[in-house]
Amino acid sequence: MTITPQFGIFLDPTVGDPREPFRLAKIADENGLDLLTIQDHPYQWRHYENWTLQTALAMATERIHVAANVGNLPLRLPAVLAKQAATLDVLTGGRVELGLGAGGFWDAIVAFGGTRRSSGEAYAAFEDALHIIRALWDDSGPGKSITYQGKVYSVKGAHFGPAPAHRIPIWVGAIKPRMLRLTGRMADGLFISMPYFPPETLPEMNAHIDEGAEEAGRSPDLIRRGYNISGAILPGAGSSSVPAQPGVIAGTAGYWADQLTRFYQDYRQDTFIFWSSSDDVADQIERFAQEVMPAVKERTVVTADS
């Protein structure tokens, strides 16, 4: 494996002190993390709205990229999503990445005015969205229009602008074989969460992504594998851990570095999104950036060059 690892945080959008998300985003930004990701549940009354929060934090930071982890497609039109992402990408100088999911909490989606979809309908809608968003970003321009007739979503003579500042990566929240193959065919990365999908489940998921990429004539190595990892980084030198819930890591920075290096080398995970389970989230982000990230980078650079 030669893909360079990335590191980020999973920022909790729960409503509270409105200064706190900015404080945490600034710490992540100043400590060199790559991604600031935020879950998107528009129907959740306890949460800030994702795109509003993404935009505010993106404009308050300087280098870190922002993304939904992952965006709720059933409550957001693909063409409007493309416009939102492209606009913010221009305003931030190319720091937007689009996370997108097909939906899942259908009672809540319906309560917010969305349409309940079967698994087949959700898949068709998601594939339509990928076609539309990419076409609007890549194929439109002055005097040009985009038309796409899908099973669920369509655009008819759409004039799009502004163009994104860079090629915006699309991350997919997917777990089933057909969606994983679609990720390999059309997207740039996958977000999954370790508490739900432990390492031993990853080879099979990787195989579906690889299959989709190969069907499309793409290199499987082009598809990033993002792993949302929850836990606490404990003080202390060396590599040691304490008992924790399944799917949660609790150990020293050395232990975290051991685990993330193993996930990279043995399971092809290359993008690590940290979700702190500690009360002192700011301290945990600093530990992740200052102690865990450099250790993993050092070990994986050796692996990539060997």
pLDDT of residue 254: 96
Do 224 and 3 form a contact (C-beta atoms < 8 A)? yes
Tell me if 202 is assigned to some domain. Answer: yes
Tell me if 98 is assigned to some domain. Answer: yes
State the pTM of this model: 0.94
pLDDT of residue 306: 44
Number of structural domains in the chain: 1
* Rounded Cα–Cα distance for residues 271 and 225 (Å): 6
Task: Sort residue 157 into left (φ over 0), alpha (ψ -120 to 50) or beta.
Answer: left
Domain that holds residue 98: 6-305
Neighbours of 81 (CB within 10 A): 20
Q: Which residue has tokens 């409503």?
A: 15
Tell me if 1 is assigned to some domain. Answer: no
| CATH code (residue 261) | 3.20.20.30
Name residues whose C-beta falls within 8 Å of residue 51's C-beta, 6 or more positions apart in sequence.
68, 84
- In the beta sheet, which residues pair with residue 99? 171
Tell me if 35 is assigned to some domain. Answer: yes
pLDDT of residue 207: 98
Report in angstroms the alpha-carbon separations of 63 from 31, 251, 271, 276, 279: 10, 29, 17, 22, 26
- Averaged over successive runs of 10 residues, the pLDDT of the chain (306 residues) comes to 88 96 98 98 97 98 98 97 98 98 95 96 98 96 93 97 97 97 98 96 98 97 97 92 88 96 97 93 97 96 52
First to last CA, the chain: 10
pLDDT of residue 2: 67
Tell me if 267 is assigned to some domain. Answer: yes
Report in angstroms the alpha-carbon separations of 22 from 55, 90, 221, 231: 11, 21, 34, 22
